[in-house]
Structure 1
Amino acid sequence: MSHYRNGTHSVGTVIAAIADVMAFVLGLWILMYLLDANRGNDLVQFVHDAASWLAGWSHDLFTFDEDWARVVAGYGLAAVVYLAVGHIVAGRLHR
């Protein structure tokens, strides 16, 4: 029984870590956008592509007049949802 429990604990840790990485990528894109990072740079383009994929369901959810507000709200919402769901699932697995 303890082996099963340790395996479940490890899965929960992995899920939490994945959620953290997803939220980090989304937060990094928000920061790059706000700081007007060079979109011709390969790293900036990679982060933008990854964030766009992760926030595909939320990046145009809000219709603020200002572009920066749409980016912060849409990508920020995705980051918060991934963090919350990932850590809730991890917490349930850790029990």
Structure 2
Amino acid sequence: MRTHTRVHARGSGQAARGVALVADVLAFVIVLWIVLYLLDANRSNGLVDFVHDAATWLATWSYDLFTFSTEWVQVVVGYGLAAVVYLFVGHLVAGWLHRR
């Protein structure tokens, strides 16, 4: 019976690390887009375009939640909110899985 408990705990720990890693990667992509935007990266560059498209898709739900008259504030808040939520929820779920 003890072996079953250890195997279950190890599986929960691995799942927790996986969830946290996914949340970190999603937040990283969004924050990378914010940095590229603030640095005025060349949007015709393939990498910049890919990061922008991925971040836009990930932040679809949050980008127009609040509106600001200054474009850079809109980008930072709209995308930044999505990054914070992905990190918070992802690590909350990871913590729950780890405790199981």
State the TM-score, normalized to the length of structure 1: 0.97
Aligned equivalents of 2:13 and 2:69: distance in 1?
45
Amino acid in structure 2 at the alignment position of 1:66: T
Q: Which of 27, 31, 36 is matched with 1:27 structurally?
A: 31
Q: Which of 65, 78, 96 is matched with 1:92 structurally?
A: 96
Unaligned runs of 5+ in 2: none
Q: Name the counterpart of 2:47.
A: 43
Question: 2:81 aligns to what SS in structure 1?
Answer: helix
1:44-77 CA-partner distances (Å, limit 9, x unpaired): 0000000001001011111100010000001000
- Does residue 79 (structure 1) correspond to residue 83 (structure 2)? The answer is yes
Q: Name the counterpart of 1:53.
A: 57
Amino acid in structure 2 at the alignment position of 1:29: W
For this pair of structures, how many residues does the alignment match? 95
Q: Once superposed, which parts of structure 1, at least 4 consecutive aligned residues long, lie more than 3 Å away?
A: none
Amino acid in structure 1 at the alignment position of 2:39: L
Larger Rg computed on CA atoms:
2
* Two-structure CA RMSD over aligned residues (Å): 0.6
Aligned equivalents of 1:74 and 1:11: distance in 2?
29
Aligned equivalents of 2:64 and 2:46: distance in 1?
24
Percentage identity across paired residues of the two chains: 62
Q: Name the counterpart of 2:6.
A: 2
Q: Which of 52, 63, 71 is matched with 2:67 structurally?
A: 63
